[in-house]
Chains A and B, each alone.
Chain A
Amino acid sequence: MSNGSAQSAAFNAGIVIDVDRLWQCNSCGRQHITKASRDGVQTPLHQCVGLAGTWVPFVPAHSDAIIRVEERQDYIGNDMVFHDANGRPIMSVYTMREDGEDCHILAPTTTVTFES
């Protein structure tokens, strides 16, 4: 195959352009980049210094989305729950968008002790 026909074949096969998507945290300013080809895949949580070390999601850059942290509403018992840097037990994190909201529930760990 000549070089020209190889280029033609490549052109006919289509060119995939993978666009970067920029995410940010409005609480701490940290940024994160994903590929558009992975849209629908969740962005990672990050431990936000602006929200006392709570694990929170990024939001699309330049959006007005607000992160709201909800404290656990009940006693803890033997469960292992997430505590922020101030010692508050965190139940969930809400991302308030113009067109809805997302919720990340920070589920506790069930603990069991086997005795012999």
Chain B
Amino acid sequence: MPFTSSAIFRSFVASNFSGASVFDLDAPTDTYKVALYNNNNTPDKDAAAASTAYNTGQWVVANEVSQTTNWPAGGVALASMTITTPSTGVIMFDAADTASAASSTLANVFGSLVYNDTKTTPVADQGVCFNYFGGSNSVTSGVLTVVWNANGLFRITV
């Protein structure tokens, strides 16, 4: 079963609450990256932490869409990351739009993985969330920009 929806990894939430690994998403010192994927993987929000990491589980390089330095394997760094509380009961994670270099050619982009590229323990490159774009996207000799929604990358309601 391919990409069908977006989700926050359960292990990401559990890691934060248990203290196993605390992820700062507000102007962090850690680097977080966005890697692009085709539709050959089957994202699982309930996967164990180790299987949410970049180049593990469903997120192996074989399923990744990249092009040398334009949108390199491993992804492009997220910038201007913020955690805000925009309305009653809502917590929002947002970031600046993420773009490739000029003259990029990328095909079959169905979704993305956001992961921590700094921590090495207990899990290196642990995933935060995945966003399904809703179909196949591509770019030819141009710039591919992921425009994050005005409601953020993810939004938690309590």
Contact = CB atoms under 8 A, between A and B. Distances in A.
A pairs with B = yes
Interface of A: 40, 42, 45, 55, 70, 72-82, 89, 91-92, 95, 97, 99-114, 116
A116 B152 CA distance: 23
Interface string B144-156: 1111110111111
B149 A107 contact: yes
Contact of A108 (B99, B131, B138, B139): B131
A80 B157 contact: no
Contacts, number: 124
A82 B151 CA distance: 10
Nearest to A80: B151
Q: How large is the interface on B (under 10, 10 to 19, 20 to 34, 35 or more residues)?
A: 35 or more
Contacts of A114: 156-158
Contact of A100 (B7, B141, B146): B141
Nearest to B106: A103
Contact of B154 (A75, A97, A111): A111
Given A77-B5, A78-B5, A112-B8, A105 B157 contact: no
Interface in B90-124: 97, 99, 102-103, 109, 112
